[in-house]
Structure 1
Amino acid sequence: MTQIHPPARLLMGPGPIDADPRVLRAMAAPLVGQFDPFMTDTMTEAMGLWRTVWDTANEQTFLVDGTARAGIEAALVSLLEPGDRVLVPVFGRFGHLLAEICGRAGAEVHTIETEWGTVFDPGQVEDAVRRVRPRVVAVVHGDTSTTMAQPLAELGRIAHEHDALLYVDATATLGGNAFHTDEWGIDAATAGLQKCLGGPSGSAPVTLSPAAVAAIDRRKQVEAGLRTADDVAPRGAPIVSNYLDLAQIMEYWGPRRLNHHTEATSMLYAARECARLLTAEGVGTAVARHVRHGAAMLAGVRGLGLEVYGDVGHKMHNVVAVRIPDRVDGDAVRGALLEDFGIEIGTSFGPLHGVVWRIGTMGFNARRDAVLTTLAALEHELRRAGHPTEPGSGVSAALASYEANRDVGP
């Protein structure tokens, strides 16, 4: 056995992406004890930085140790009790994931669906909320399976007018697309580091509104024997998970630092650095950077003669889905890109598997050289596969986009 030595890769798929070198350096910092003053100070600093990234004043803004899915599950099992009605608008693979997790929490799950490649009009969601009367509306912001981003600005109002909480999975969007937690009335939101935030998977930023905290606290009081389930009926079932119990995790991150688990120190360093870099750049500037480089990639794949999938007007800035040309073996092209150029792009799930490639421009890889290198390599492999394309067409189209959008972002 030799020391681990991964091959050099340019990760231009839907995530994970190459972590920013500054984040990797932060992860190499020495460990300290979990109640060392440096450790607890770093946790407090991370909470403040993530409030800026989430654009919120929520006191309960912290990290769940685990990948993005750990954050999703922690939020949903902590908010939902057996028998609660939940509404999940599904417009891709990860809406189905939310519905599955809600079902495992014992909720009565109601879904509405729209064709993949489209998103919901707020009126469709409001009609469903009136019909279902859910306790929670759970929605994905950006679903990487289709590359679509669901508009959120009206959903908080809709949920609150019907006495529901709004949960949002922002794994694929935070840091690369506008996200305004307080302004949009979002009660709970979770993410992961491995996409627009420029880090490795393994830490899930979470933010909770006072209303979400109150819902979780009622369950904590029952579990502690301070109140009975009848006192808080129908709110009162204990949270089924220990590790993902946000009531306990909030106590761990709070001023009393009540022991719950041993914080993943190196991932804490990574998450703090991801947030520090975003706040230093300016979250709005980071979003503009994703807009500019995403637009260049979109122009570039069109310049190669590839058809873009879905409603481009509702596409995330940081990933584009392109239809694999007829008579081109999509997996063979992806394999050749990896073998010949060390570049990874993605396929998709379910009905889109083998139908589209998903190409990302996010986080540390939302930059000019990564976009142009990927387009040049893809052109080469397309020509080898027999797809006619004019030499240099993808790169030329991207460069024209950069020139047209030179004032949009860095």
Structure 2
Amino acid sequence: MGPGPINADPRVLRAMSAPLLGQYDPAMTAYMTETQELYRQVFRTANDATLLVDGTSRSGIEAVLVSLLEPGDRVLVPVFGRFGHLLKEIAERCLAEVHVIEAEWGTVFEPEQLEAAIVEVRPKVLALVQGDTSTTMCQPLADVGEICRRHGVLFYSDVTASLGGNAFEMDGWGLDAATAGLQKCLAGPSGSAPTSLSDAAVEVIRSRKHVEAGIRESSDDLDEEATIRPRIRSNYFDLGMILDYWGPRRLNHHTEASSMLYGARECARLLVNEGMGTAIERHRLHGAAILAGVQGLGLEVFGDVAHKMNNVVAVEIPAGLDGDGARSAMLHDFGIEIGTSFGPLHGRVWRIGTMGYNARHDAVLGTLAALEQVLRGGGLSPVPGGGVAAAKEVYAG
């Protein structure tokens, strides 16, 4: 019950146990096509370039940034938690000119702040996390795409922690690139990075030289502009080549991680069958229940609750209580894992997740009951049954 990874849905694990197929078996390529269509519905997009990058969620982030950014390109990274710093680091490794604006942890950016920074920096790409689990904040994105369009900026968001449990409209909000992972609201294991790219992003990627030297027969195989543009600096994360692999030509790039594809396909299938709106409401309901529950135990919540993600809450560790000892007791006495956080919040808060397969009544109520006993064992005096009672009030409507 931490901020992720979470328990995978048993149906996802069962799908991953299916026999392996060759990557050009007609059944396998059909699964790839089905997976692309399912993730178009998850991302809420019509983008043809919707696919999986084989690797953890960070692989999708790196693939997008290394494929969009050339050395010297300006990128603006608004940072309001740990994972904005990650986008900054990866962009720096792409040799981009990285500009950062920061918001206090526990808050988010207003559209006016983002537009002012865009006007000042004039970046090629805005790279912005939607949900940052380090602070539990969910950055509003609905107005950002239109701002980026007005100023000719490509808009990328890392939605690893938020997709499937919080509203996200790729096309409706004007995003050019988005990447995710399975291990949060998508109810799967880490190891696959669903990714979607707009036509504008694909055009930028296609303009980069990604044909390997020695494979083309002559320089005529690349147009004049491509020959003078820097090649994408990674082979594995070259989205131009990965697009060819997932596209109708099925050009070989790497051996597909078949079991992960089965799992990613099942994650999306379950969400689509549930209905994206229904899944988001499920996460909102259980997130509201755990929030009310920890408050019912007398605990303080970190950050601006109005901008909290549906699927994780940060709880201030009470003064005088051994936070790590309490987490250890939760794990060893009750078999429930909760997390701490990073940087300035390490040892200051617990993070409790209600996401994916764990966005359930029994998981929420069991966690609150266990936490009450751990608090009492640590010398505190929470209201008997206060957490469970508060959560049940939420469920009762």
Normalization by structure 1: what TM-score? Answer: 0.94
Question: In structure 1, how many angstroms separate the alpha carbons of the residues matched to 2:62 and 2:22?
Answer: 27
SS in 2 for 1:220: coil
Tell me what 2:322 maps to.
329
User: Is the 1:27–1:266 contact (alpha carbons within 8 Å) kept by the matching residues of 2?
Assistant: yes
Tell me what 2:307 maps to.
314
Alignment of 1:141 onto 2:134: no
In the TM superposition, 1:168-247 aligns within 5 A as 168-220=157-209, 225=219, 226-227=221-222, 231=225, 236-247=229-240
The runs of 4+ residues in structure 1 deviating greater than 3 Å are: 220-229
Question: In structure 1, how many angstroms separate the alpha carbons of the residues matched to 2:318 and 2:357?
Answer: 29
Tell me what 1:54 maps to.
43
In the TM superposition, 1:4-403 aligns within 5 A as 12-220=1-209, 225=219, 226-227=221-222, 231=225, 236-403=229-396
Question: In structure 2, how many angstroms separate the alpha carbons of the residues matched to 1:311 and 1:227?
Answer: 51
Shift of 1:159: 1.2
Question: In structure 2, how many angstroms separate the alpha carbons of the residues matched to 1:122 and 1:227?
Answer: 41
User: Is the 2:286–2:361 contact (alpha carbons within 8 Å) kept by the matching residues of 1?
Assistant: yes
Cα deviations across residues 352-408 of structure 1 (Å, max 9, x unaligned)? 00000000000000010000000000000000001211110000000011112xxxx
Cα deviations across residues 248-290 of structure 1 (Å, max 9, x unaligned)? 0000000110000000000000000000000000011000000
Question: In structure 2, how many angstroms separate the alpha carbons of the residues matched to 1:32 and 1:197?
Answer: 24
Give the count of matched residue pairs.
391
Cα deviations across residues 175-234 of structure 1 (Å, max 9, x unaligned)? 0000000000000000000000000000000000000000000003787754567x369x
Tell me what 1:408 maps to.
none
User: Is the 2:51–2:196 contact (alpha carbons within 8 Å) kept by the matching residues of 1?
Assistant: yes
Question: In structure 2, how many angstroms separate the alpha carbons of the residues matched to 1:138 and 1:158?
Answer: 13
Computed over aligned residues only, the root mean square deviation of the Cα atoms, in angstroms, reads: 1.3
Q: Which 5+ residue runs of structure 1 have no aligned equivalent? A: 1-11, 405-410
Give the stretch that moved more between structures: 151-160 or 109-118. Answer: 151-160
Normalization by structure 2: what TM-score? Answer: 0.97
SS in 2 for 1:176: coil
SS in 2 for 1:219: coil
User: Is the 1:77–1:102 contact (alpha carbons within 8 Å) kept by the matching residues of 2?
Assistant: yes
Matched AA of 2:153: A
> Quick one: structure 1 residues 144 and 79, their matched pair in 2 at CA, closer, same or farther if it must change by over 3 Å?
same
Matched AA of 2:268: A
Question: In structure 1, how many angstroms separate the alpha carbons of the residues matched to 2:130 and 2:316?
Answer: 23
Question: In structure 1, how many angstroms separate the alpha carbons of the residues matched to 2:175 and 2:344?
Answer: 31
Matched AA of 2:55: G
Question: In structure 1, how many angstroms separate the alpha carbons of the residues matched to 2:48 and 2:140?
Answer: 25
Question: In structure 1, how many angstroms separate the alpha carbons of the residues matched to 2:391 and 2:204?
Answer: 48
SS in 2 for 1:189: strand
Question: In structure 2, how many angstroms separate the alpha carbons of the residues matched to 1:54 and 1:263?
Answer: 22
Question: In structure 2, how many angstroms separate the alpha carbons of the residues matched to 1:180 and 1:96?
Answer: 24
User: Is the 2:210–2:231 contact (alpha carbons within 8 Å) kept by the matching residues of 1?
Assistant: no
SS in 2 for 1:343: coil
Q: Which 5+ residue runs of structure 2 have no aligned equivalent? A: none
Question: In structure 2, how many angstroms separate the alpha carbons of the residues matched to 1:220 and 1:206?
Answer: 21
Matched AA of 1:34: Q
Tell me what 1:4 maps to.
none
Question: In structure 1, how many angstroms separate the alpha carbons of the residues matched to 2:135 and 2:230?
Answer: 36
Question: In structure 1, how many angstroms separate the alpha carbons of the residues matched to 2:24 and 2:364?
Answer: 43
Cα deviations across residues 268-326 of structure 1 (Å, max 9, x unaligned)? 00000000000000011000000000000000000000000000000000000010000
Cα deviations across residues 123-182 of structure 1 (Å, max 9, x unaligned)? 000000000000000000000000000000111111121111000000000000000000
Percent same amino acid among aligned pairs?
68
Question: In structure 2, how many angstroms separate the alpha carbons of the residues matched to 1:207 and 1:370?
Answer: 32
